[in-house]
Amino acid sequence: MKRLTAACAASLLATTAFAQPDPTDWDSVLEEARGQTVYWNAWGGSTTTNDFIAWVGDRVAEEHGVTLKHVKLTDTADAVARVLAEQQAGTNEGGAIDIIWINGENFASMKRQDLLFGPFAEDLPNWQYVDTEGKTVQTDFTIPTEGYESPWAMAQVVFMYDTADIDAPLPSMNAILEWSKSHPGRFTYPQPPDFLGATFLKQALLDLVEDPAPLMEPATPETFAKVSAPVWDFLEELTPNLWRKGETYPQSGPQQIQLLNDDEIDLAISFSPGEASTAISNFELPDTVRTFVLDKGTLGNASYLAIPYNANAAAGAMVVANFILSPEAQAHGLDPLNLGYGTVLDMDKLSDDQKAAFDAIDLGIATLTPAELGTALPEPHPSWMEMLETEWTARYGVQ
Amino acid sequence: MTPSLTLVPRLTLAALVLPVGAGLWGVIAPLLGLVQITGADPTEAIDALLAWPGLGPSALLSVTTGVSATLLALSLVVLILSQLHGRPALAWLRRLLSPLLSVPHAAAAFGLAFLIAPSGWVTRVFSPWSTGWDQPPDLLILNDPWGLTLTLGLAIKEAPFLLLMSLAALGQTRADQSILIARALGHSASGAWLKTVFPAIYAQIRLPVYVVLAYSMTAVDVALILGPTRPSTLSVQILRWMSDPDLAYRLQGAAGALVQLALVVGVMALWRAAEQAVATLGKAWITGGSRSSGLDRLRPLARVLGGLSSLGVLLGLAGLVIWSFAGQWRYPDVLPDQMTLRSWQRFAPQLTDPLMETALIALASTGIALILCIGSLEAETRHNLRPTGRAMALLYLPLLIPQIAFLPGLQVLLLQSGLTSGRWVVVLSHLVFVLPYVFLSLSDPWRAWDRRYGTVASALGSSPDGVLFRVRLPMLLAPLLTAAAIGCAVSVGQYLPTLLAGGGRVATITTEAVALSSGGNRRAIGVYAVAQTLAALIPFAIALGLPRLVHRNRRALIPETR
């Protein structure tokens, strides 16, 4: 009987929820959010991210009475597929997913198909702290976000290397190639279409092309063939010198870290400047590991949170997104003991107290300073990543 | 009397057949254009599947790894039973069965990977002092393109299951008498077993062998960890397509699922043909009169292989347990620099919710399965029904049809019909896999129960229900609990049904463990593997312990010590 009443109440709520929560009226959002359960779909393969999400859950429960559940995905695309399937089935409200950790291809795909709730991001109260000038937080892989996703972490490509085996940072992709030739079997990258593997291909593309301008436009078969040619020449030389001669590849970033720790490889790519320090503090890497960036700069982007158009708890989801933009959550995430992700906030917009929390963080022995990281290179248009993945699979994906 | 009881067997079959049939329909209908999925065209999807360069190699891999793993597991079991029949070594292996079966597939695969990797435990023991390897050698052992490691991993995890089934079948043959006679005629011990016992046993374990074949050809989690990557096996690729954001890939995945189904059915047909060929050759061998005196020399081999394959699983698990307590631990250290509780402090709080969910689902699906099985068996008793061969084959249906072939279709249908997924849908989907195992485990002890107890009780005025509840069920407490334990273990291990029917929202210990394994953090995997193994082992411990407690003054009702 209790369940029946609950079901009736839920269906009543669902019909009244037709009036979608309005982020400009934040008080009513908070009121609606109280008591809601928010299902956050995010990749579950990284234990540090899982811990961070659990911490966010504890904090929003305390502050706003929102219950956060982490749905652990093996691939973010699963969540997109789920929303699509719900749209197919006409589940236009009460969907299974309330908030997704997303960027790039998946965002482009959801935005194109009108699967997103919003715009909401720039109406969140904590948006006032976001660094809209200095950081790429309003375009995602060249696609304007238009408030349909809220940034929560900055990422930039760095290379992790074991100083016990490599003396000095390698300044370019060609230097990595030369080093690999003299140290065969000691370098590899995750197998595309894994996200980090595809990132390695993009980084190679950005480092090897003469003129990056065409990369900001959608790729056509002609421009792709012409512009990406140096990448394939590079891989042709690199592959025989890879770990296992390129016969097999690690399947994910964390697996690559395990290989570095097992001393099977000496060099690995990462999309998080603080990841190495975090791994060292968790005993997952030796304390001889350091990081470097390439002389021409490395790729950077933001991770975002988006809310599906049919989310069951859009108000609760916005409360979560807003909390993650708070100085408290951003400082917690920046600390390599917790997560080691870059902040999306502008330090100049914070009060002295808030800033002090950031200054107090020890970035860790393997993390580069913002000055050393330099300015991140922008992501190419998503079509480049798709075509790189397809071409890689055709050339190397099948023996 | 209760006419409704006769409906229970039908209800049971419906619970098995309907989901499988609906799932297959959900795969086939969109491909035939009977159900529209916007943005996906059936012809294009099939063309895209055929154009994928990896189709041939990955289909071939499914066949080669699946068939060799099954052959290997079966040969190992036959070798062990024929060489070690009635010997202490077999009793030892028998004691190892429950733990071996309780180790989840993914954990076993991870443990094995850590044992045999070039930077793994075995190399570390001998390095660098005897091998000279200051750095791990760049050898392709894991994820080899021929799927040899995958085959090995599948074989050592499936052999215990076949051994269990064979031992159960052995109880129903007059093995000792047959061997005695054959020995008196001058046959060697193992020759006698092969000639007189094996044919009878194989007839009984044929369906379990097919289950192993279907599983090995389509396993996803083990293939993800140990299998080839360029390309992977077909089942792994199907799962990737099924989870692509682009809906067109779903149809491509559905088409792939049909190819996978055809492969499994085709291979089973070939296996059946091979069975007949072996039977003909075997008969000639048996009637040929040779005493096969040299065969017994294989006995040390049986001991070594039986021991090694058990060690492969148990040492691997031990490795993961150590990882869960490890501080810094690098190659070539055999043990960690320091031990710490940090991983447990970090991950244990996250274990409680999934463990509760796992227990709830396992108890619910096992409970329903027990009620259906008892109802069916009681209907059989009261109305003198005997299950036909066809009904028995249906019982195996969910185990023979690869999960990857029908579960995605079930997900599509659930969504199309607007049914919300959630815990109870997961319970029903688990029931499909729990039910066969519970029935198979319970039916023999049920039928073996001496009906004269019932006659006596009736003569004393007990109603049929009274006989059931006050005599038969209490007397069968031990087999009932064993069946329940097996049901719980099966439920705990389900990954794809939980993921697909639960819409990703139902987090059990197994879905969490597999999601984590995509990250490859050995410490976290160690913690979850221990939790998963315990979740499967505890019901077995209860099944062993409780009858001893309840029947402490009725010794004949306590199952003999194994």
> How much helix, strand and coil, in percent to the nearest 5, is found in chain B?
75, 0, 25
Domain A158-298+376-397 is classified in which CATH homologous superfamily? Answer: Periplasmic binding protein-like II (3.40.190.10)
| Percentage of residues in chain A having pLDDT higher than 90 | 66
- Burial class from Cβ neighbours inside 10 Å (0-12, 13-18, 19+) for residue B423 reads middle
Determine, yes or no, domain membership for B1. no
Distance from CA of B221 to the nearest CA of A (A): 12
The predicted pLDDT at position B420 comes to 61
Pair A332, A179: CB distance under 8 Å: no
The mean pLDDT of chain B is 88
* Residue B335, amino acid: L
pLDDT at A42 over 90: no
Contact flag B515-A73 (C-beta cutoff 8 Å): yes
Beta-bridged to residue A28, according to DSSP, are: none
Following DSSP, what letter does each residue of B332-390 receive, concatenated? T-SS-SSB-SHHHHHHHHHHHHHHHHHHHHHHHHHHHHHHHHHHHHHHHHHHT----HH
B91 in a structural domain: yes
Partners of residue A38 on adjacent β-strands: A68
Q: A343 at the B interface (CB within 8 A)?
A: no
Q: Give contacts of A 60-89 with B, CB under 8 A.
A: 69, 71-75, 77-82, 84-86, 88-89
Residue B536: which pLDDT band, with cuts at 50, 70 and 90? confident
Instruction: Check: CB of residue A196 under 8 Å from CB of residue A269.
Output: yes
Q: In which band, very low, low, confident or very high, does the pLDDT at B38 lie, cut at 50, 70 and 90?
A: low
**Cβ pair B405, B31 in contact under 8 A:** no
Find the CB nearest A77 among B143, B224, B244. B244
Strands A158-162 and A267-270, by their bridges, are antiparallel
Q: Which residue has the higher pLDDT, A310 or B511?
A: A310
Residues B94 and B199 in one domain: yes
Report CB contact under 8 Å: A91, B418.
yes
What CATH number is attached to the domain comprising B98?
1.10.3720.10
Give the pLDDT mean for B235-260: 82
Does B8 fall in a domain?
no
Reference B486, options B365, B326, B330, B320; nearest CA is B365
**Separation of first and last alpha carbons in chain B:** 40
Q: At what angle do helices B509-517 and B477-493 cross, to 10 degrees?
A: 40
State whether B501 and B434 are in the same domain: yes
Residues B362 and B326 grouped into a single domain: no
User: CB–CB of B503 and A88 under 8 A?
Assistant: no
C-beta of residue A66 within 8 angstroms of C-beta of residue A6: no
Instruction: Report yes or no: B287 at the A interface, CB cutoff 8 Å.
Output: no
Size (chain B), residues = 562
Residue B243 lies in a domain: no
B149, pLDDT greater than 90: yes
Distance CA B541, CA B482 (A): 9
Residues B544 and B488 in one domain: yes
Tokens 């229970």, located at residue: B8
- In this structure, the number of other CB atoms found within 10 A of the CB of residue B22 comes to 16
CB within 8 Å of chain B, chain A residues 105-124? 105-106, 109-110
On whether any CB of chain A is under 8 Å from the CB of B352, the answer is no
Identify whether B17 is part of a domain: no
Give yes or no: residues B218 and B366 share one domain.
Answer: no
CATH class belonging to A21-151+303-363: alpha beta
pLDDT, mean of residues B318-345 = 92
Q: How confident is the model at residue B401 (pLDDT cuts 50, 70, 90)?
A: confident
Does the CB of B244 have a partner CB in chain A at under 8 Å? yes
Q: Is residue B485 located within the same domain as residue B558?
A: yes
Cβ contact (<8 Å) for B247 and A54? no
Mean pLDDT of B415-435: 81
The string of pLDDT tens digits covering residues B42-85 is: 888 899 999 888 999 999 999 999 999 999 999 999 999 999 99
* pLDDT given at position A17: 40
How confident is the model over B455-468, as a mean pLDDT? 93
The mean per-residue pLDDT over the stretch B214-224 comes to 91
B349 exposure class (CB count in 10 Å sphere: 0-12, 13-18, 19+): exposed
When divided into structural domains, chain B yields a total of 2
Instruction: Give percent of chain B above pLDDT 70.
Output: 95
Q: For A325-391, where are the E strands, in sequence order?
A: none
- Tokens 């055809």, residue? B262
B367/B486 same-domain check: yes
Contacts across the A-B interface (CB distance below 8 Å): 173
Going by pLDDT thresholds of 50, 70 and 90, the confidence category of residue B245 is low
Q: Do the two domains A21-151+303-363 and A158-298+376-397 of this chain adopt the same fold?
A: yes
The whole-angstrom distance between A350's CA and the closest CA on chain B is 32
Contact A241, A189 (CB under 8 A): no
State the residue range of the domain holding B78. 57-232+299-335
Q: Which amino acid is at B399?
A: L
CA atoms within 13 A on the CB side of B507: 21
Q: Minimal Cα–Cα distance from A254 to chain B, Å?
A: 5
Report residue B76 as tokens. Answer: 């190992």
Given a contact cutoff of 8 angstroms between Cβ atoms, the answer to whether A279 and A290 are in contact is no
Which pLDDT band, with edges at 50, 70 and 90, does B554 fall under? Answer: confident
Domains of chain A, by residue range, sit at 21-151+303-363, 158-298+376-397
What is the reported pLDDT for B402?
85
The answer to whether residues B326 and B364 belong to one domain is no
Structure-block tokens of residue A16:
């009244």
Is the Cβ–Cβ distance between A118 and A109 less than 8 Å? no
Chain B residues in contact with A74 (beta carbon < 8 A): 243, 514-515, 518
For B346, which residue in chain A has the nearest alpha carbon? A51
Whether residue A157 contacts residue A253, with contact meaning beta carbons closer than 8 Å, is answered with no
Q: Does B328 touch chain A (CB under 8 A)?
A: yes
Using alpha carbons, list the distances in angstroms from residue B293 to A261, B177, B181, B445: 53, 20, 16, 37
Cα gap B28→B257, rounded to integer Å: 9
Determine the pLDDT at residue A319.
97
Chain B interface disruption, residue of A48, A99, A264, most B CBs within 10 A: A264
* pLDDT averaged over every residue in chain A: 89
Phi, psi of B503 (to 5 degrees): 60, 25
Instruction: Determine the pLDDT at residue A7.
Output: 41
Res B275: pLDDT: 96
pLDDT at residue B37, rounded to an integer: 65
| B13 is a domain residue | no
For A10-40, how does the pLDDT look when each residue is reduced to its tens digit (9 = 90+)?
A: 443 443 344 589 999 999 999 999 999 999 9
Asked if residue B348 and residue B303 are part of one domain, the reply reads no
Bridge partners for A130 per DSSP: A345
Domain membership flag for residue B254: no
Give A329-372 pLDDT, tens digit per residue: 999 999 988 888 889 999 999 999 999 999 899 988 999 988 88
* Model confidence pLDDT, tens digit, residues A220-241: 999 999 999 999 999 999 999 9
B559 touches chain A (CB under 8 A): no
The C-alpha atoms of residue A366 and residue A294 are separated, in whole angstroms, by: 16
- Confirm if B114 and B526 have CB atoms less than 8 A apart: no
pLDDT score at A178:
97
Q: Rounded to 5 degrees, what are φ and ψ at B485?
A: -65, -45
Mutate to test the interface with A, among B244, B407, B426 (most CBs of A within 10 A): B244
For residues B71 and B214, membership in a common domain is answered with yes
